[in-house]
Amino acid sequence: MQRTFIGLGALLAMLAVAIGAFGAHILKSSLGESAMAVYETGVQYHMMHALGLLIVGIAAGQWGESSRLRWSGWLLLAGIVLFSGSLYALSISGIKVLGAITPLGGVCFIAGWLLLALEAFSRRNA
């Protein structure tokens, strides 16, 4: 589990940088200001939660594996796909209904962080 989440976190952070650069250098001239702001929000949350995956992996190495940490990592990953992915798709396509997916990703983010916090508070000697 530790290697899985550290590896996924690193790959997703790299992907966030690439997607951000693509937006800044390729899409900026074709997207409107509002769509670009939506895209940039997706990139920011993508990177923050990729770093969260790294934290989950490091915590698993420090504390040992647990179902809370496992769920935390998978929820953060799902949040990146749903939240950031829907914002990327919305900003590029302009299809407004894609915005309905974004809150599901936000809920995944919240639940993932909550599980990480609960795991931390449940540790007596960590």
Exposure letters 36-73 (e unless 16+ CB within 10 A, then b): bebbbbbbebbbebbbbbbbbbebbeebeebebbbbbb
pLDDT number for residue 118 = 97
Query: What are the pLDDT digits (tens) for 56-114?
Result: 999 999 999 999 999 999 999 999 999 999 999 999 999 999 999 999 999 999 999 99
pLDDT tens-digit readout, 3-45: 999 999 999 999 999 999 999 999 988 999 999 999 999 999 9
Residue 9 resides in a domain: yes
- Residue 35 located in a structural domain: yes
The reply to whether 126 falls in a domain is no
DSSP 23: I
> Structurally, how many domains does the chain consist of?
1
Gyration radius of the chain over CA positions: 16
CB contact at 8 A, 75 and 97: no
The number of beta carbons lying within 10 Å of the beta carbon of residue 99 is 13
Q: What is the model's pLDDT at position 2?
A: 94
Establish if 31 belongs to a structural domain: yes
Give 120's contacts (C-beta < 8 A, 6+ positions apart): 59, 126
Find the domain containing 37 and state its range. 2-120
d(CA 11, CA 42): 16
* pTM for the whole structure: 0.94
- Above 90 in pLDDT, residue 123? no
Report yes or no on 116 lying in a domain: yes
User: What pLDDT does residue 29 have?
Assistant: 87
Decide if 125 is inside a domain. no
8 A C-beta contact, residue 85 and residue 102? no
Domain membership of residue 70 (yes or no) is yes
Does residue 38 lie in a domain region? yes
Question: What is the amino acid identity at position 72?
Answer: S
pLDDT at res. 126: 52
